[in-house]
């Protein structure tokens, strides 16, 4: 059984860029300028001698000059889910079949491991049609296996040879597309003839540059979270008795938090990149929130909403040092000694002896529940899993302590009761918005055109996204253009540079200009649910971030 909404969404025909609406025979490739990496050009060029420095390309109206051949394409969904992933696969399938009905699309199950283990499905019309315009990655499943070793590449090459595969499309985020670039270089160096194309996916919004205007899924996820935040704001303004602390996804960048703030106008929104730039301490952040609470209380408003990015604590300089010291404190056999201690007081004494005076001072001001979370399950490298820290509860508790001090001093007379929320998985598999349904379908369709023209190590690129879909520009960008060298696990590695919130960018500047009013007044916006049917200005609008950046 499927819902009435899904039945209607299955009928939706995604909009393509005008140039891709021409018949396949009338899509021509136009080359642009040669590219170079965003940084560390010599090192990146040396690591990618066969795929570095290629030209950007766009598709224009004209004679298709690609060499006709049967294409057998493999597709992989990699990393966390993002709304619209199914439409990338559907767009890829439709372009492949429109070019030649004999072409084949193979879906590798469970992410990159499906390619290594040769677990796959061959798509047909009946199977594909069940997943059009739906959320999730359940069409073939996803996984987080990294394709990064020569042994893995050799296995991948053998699987491709077995099936006669001519190209692989990897749908993923920055790490997945870094792996795509390395795999493309290996296939080129070994003369396999297999091309690799990437598609930019992540709800975090941190896979972008001047060419990749946004990653898919960001639009739907932020609209889903903003609906929930708007609902909470409405409840907040109705009951008038709670401060709601809401954590949203985004560990390495604060794009999701900022976009939700632009859509809902909460009283407080923390932006990690600003916290890092101003070198704000935990205490200073708590004081900043407490100031807003106090000013609203003076006006009889003992309620409010604060949005907290998932990775906020990693932007706090003193907390980064604390995390590094804890990682060192529990390195190797010392972790066994710590875990052997029976009680928290014993463990606390162990911690007190192992941390510097400065880091212990930071640790001591944390609520006990947060202190203990820092010593929970480690990641595969033995490090603190910062994403497990309930930062929404951390700041609520610290603000409460600040207000208690002010009440004791006679400067604060309000009430402060809190509710806590974390919005993450709620947005990753939502029915894609019309924007994401169109954008993702275009990315997939465009990816096949890149394959048809022989591109390797490219990202499928669709730009001019603020305009109607008819005016979108389809093309491709070498993945190496987004890369730099970073220190990973003790080694210098080529990786796609994450795009952080730009503090001089238009979205943050707009937020900065208005947040003082939002903090003191009740200026809430209630976006409501994503709309799929109705006027274009309601159903097809891009995110506030994209509108401001390209406005």
Q: Is 348 helix (H, G, I), strand (E, B) or coil?
A: helix
d(CA 93, CA 129): 11
Residue range(s) defining the domain that contains residue 447: 17-217+432-496
Q: Indicate whether 200 and 342 sit together in one domain.
A: no
Q: Give Cα 25 to chain centroid, integer Å.
A: 35
Residue 269: inside a domain: yes
Q: Specify whether 421 is located in the same domain as 470.
A: no
11 part of a folded domain: no
Residues 137 and 253 in one domain: no
How many Cβ atoms sit within 10 Å of the Cβ of residue 534? 10
Please, what are the averages of pLDDT over each run of 10 residues along the chain (551 residues)? 90 94 91 96 98 97 93 97 98 97 98 98 98 97 93 98 98 96 98 98 95 97 98 98 96 95 98 97 96 97 97 92 89 85 94 94 91 80 75 96 95 96 96 98 98 98 96 97 86 93 98 98 97 94 95 83
Q: Which of 94, 174, 204, 438 is catalytic?
A: 204
CATH number, residue 163: 3.40.50.450
Strands (E), 409-532: 418-423, 458-463, 473-478, 483-488, 491-496
Asked whether residue 407 falls in the same domain as residue 439, the answer is: no
In order of 303, 345, 418, the CA distances from 292 in angstroms are 10, 36, 14
Whether residue 202 sits in one domain with residue 225: no
Q: Is residue 12 part of a domain?
A: no
Residue 6 forms part of a structural domain: no
Q: Is residue 441 located within the same domain as residue 481?
A: yes
CA 408 to chain centre: 43
Evaluate whether 300 touches 415 at the Cβ level (below 8 Å).
no
**Residue 2: inside a domain:** no
100 is annotated as an active-site residue: no
- Give the domain CATH number at 334: 3.40.50.460
- Asked whether residue 192 falls in the same domain as residue 238, the answer is no
Kindly give, in sequence order, each residue whose CB lies less than 8 Å from that of residue 113, ignoring residues fewer than 6 positions away.
119, 143, 145
263/255 Cα distance (integer angstroms): 12
Buried b / exposed e over 125-163, threshold 16 CB at 10 Å, is: eeebeebbbbbbbebbbbbebbbeeeebbebbbebbeee
Largest CA distance in the chain: 80
175 closest CA partner among 145, 203, 154, 153: 145
Structure pTM? Answer: 0.95
Please give the Cα distance from 68 to 96 (Å, whole number): 12
Please spell the DSSP secondary structure of 405-437, one letter per residue: HHHHHTS------EEEEEESHHHHTSPPPHHHH
- Is the distance from CB of 323 to CB of 298 less than 8 angstroms? no
Are 208 and 294 contained in the same domain?
Answer: no
Note whether 180 and 295 are same-domain residues: no
State phi, psi for 347 to the nearest 5 degrees: -65, -40
| Same-domain status, 485 and 528 | no
355 and 409 share one domain: yes
CB neighbour burial string for 243-280, b if at least 16 within 10 angstroms, e if fewer = bbbbbbbbbbbbbbbbbbbbbbbbbbbbbbbbbbeeeb
- Residues paired with residue 168 on neighbouring β-strands, in sequence order: 74, 196
Looking at the structure, do residues 209 and 320 belong to the same domain, yes or no?
A: no
Confirm whether 458 is domain-assigned. yes
Count of domains forming the chain: 2
Q: Which of 496, 519, 537 is the last residue of a domain?
A: 496
pLDDT of residue 8: 93
């Amino acid at each position: 059984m499927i819902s009435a909404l899904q039945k209607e969404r299955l009928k939706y025909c995604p909009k393509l860029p005008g140039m891709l609406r021409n018949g396949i025979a009338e899509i021509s490739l136009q080359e642009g300028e040669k590219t170079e990496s965003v940084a560390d050009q010599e090192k990146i060029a040396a690591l990618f001698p066969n795929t570095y420095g290629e030209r950007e390309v766009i598709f224009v109206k004209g004679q298709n000059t690609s060499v006709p051949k049967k294409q057998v394409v493999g597709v992989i969904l990699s990393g966390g889910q993002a709304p619209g992933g199914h439409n990338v696969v559907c767009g890829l399938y439709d372009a492949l079949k429109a070019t030649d009905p004999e072409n084949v699309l193979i879906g590798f199950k469970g992410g990159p491991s499906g390619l290594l283990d040769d677990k796959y499905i061959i798509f047909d019309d009946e199977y594909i049609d069940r997943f059009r315009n739906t959320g999730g990655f359940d069409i073939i499943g996803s996984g987080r296996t990294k394709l990064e070793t020569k042994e893995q590449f050799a296995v991948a090459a053998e699987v491709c040879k077995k099936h006669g595969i001519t190209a692989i499309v990897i749908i993923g985020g920055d790490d997945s597309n870094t792996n795509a670039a390395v795999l493309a270089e290996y296939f080129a160096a070994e003369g396999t003839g297999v091309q690799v194309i990437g598609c930019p996916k992540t709800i975090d919004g941190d896979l972008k540059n001047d060419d990749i205007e946004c990653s898919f899924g960001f639009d739907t996820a932020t609209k889903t979270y903003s609906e929930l935040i708007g609902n909470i704001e409405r409840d907040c303004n109705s009951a008038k008795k709670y401060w709601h602390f809401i954590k949203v996804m985004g560990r390495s960048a604060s794009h999701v938090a900022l976009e939700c703030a632009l859509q809902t106008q909460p009283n407080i929104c923390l932006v990690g990149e600003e916290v890092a730039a101003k070198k704000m301490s935990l205490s200073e952040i708590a004081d900043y929130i407490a100031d807003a609470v106090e000013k609203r209380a003076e006006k009889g408003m003992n309620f409010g909403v604060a949005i907290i990015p998932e990775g906020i604590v990693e932007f706090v300089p003193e907390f980064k040092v604390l995390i590094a010291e804890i990682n060192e404190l529990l390195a190797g056999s010392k972790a066994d000694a710590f875990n052997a201690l029976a009680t928290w007081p014993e463990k606390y004494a162990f911690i007190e002896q192992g941390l510097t005076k400065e880091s212990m001072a930071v640790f001591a001001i944390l609520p006990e529940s947060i202190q203990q979370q820092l010593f929970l399950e480690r990641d595969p490298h033995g490090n603190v899993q910062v994403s497990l820290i309930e930062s929404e509860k951390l700041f609520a508790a610290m603000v409460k302590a600040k207000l208690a001090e002010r009440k004791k001093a006679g400067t604060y007379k309000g009430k402060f009761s809190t509710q806590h929320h974390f919005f993450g998985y709620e947005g990753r598999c939502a029915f894609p918005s019309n924007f994401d349904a169109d954008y993702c379908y275009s990315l997939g369709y465009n990816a096949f055109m890149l394959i048809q023209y022989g591109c390797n190590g490219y990202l499928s690129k669709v730009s001019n996204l603020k305009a109607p879909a008819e005016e979108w520009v389809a093309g491709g960008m070498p993945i190496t253009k987004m890369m730099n060298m970073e220190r990973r696990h003790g080694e210098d590695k080529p990786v796609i540079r994450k795009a952080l919130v730009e503090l001089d960018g238009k979205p943050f500047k707009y937020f900065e200009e208005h947040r003082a009013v939002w903090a003191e007044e009740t200026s809430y916006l209630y976006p409501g649910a994503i709309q799929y049917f109705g006027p274009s200005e309601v159903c097809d609008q891009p995110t506030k971030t994209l509108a401001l950046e390209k406005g």
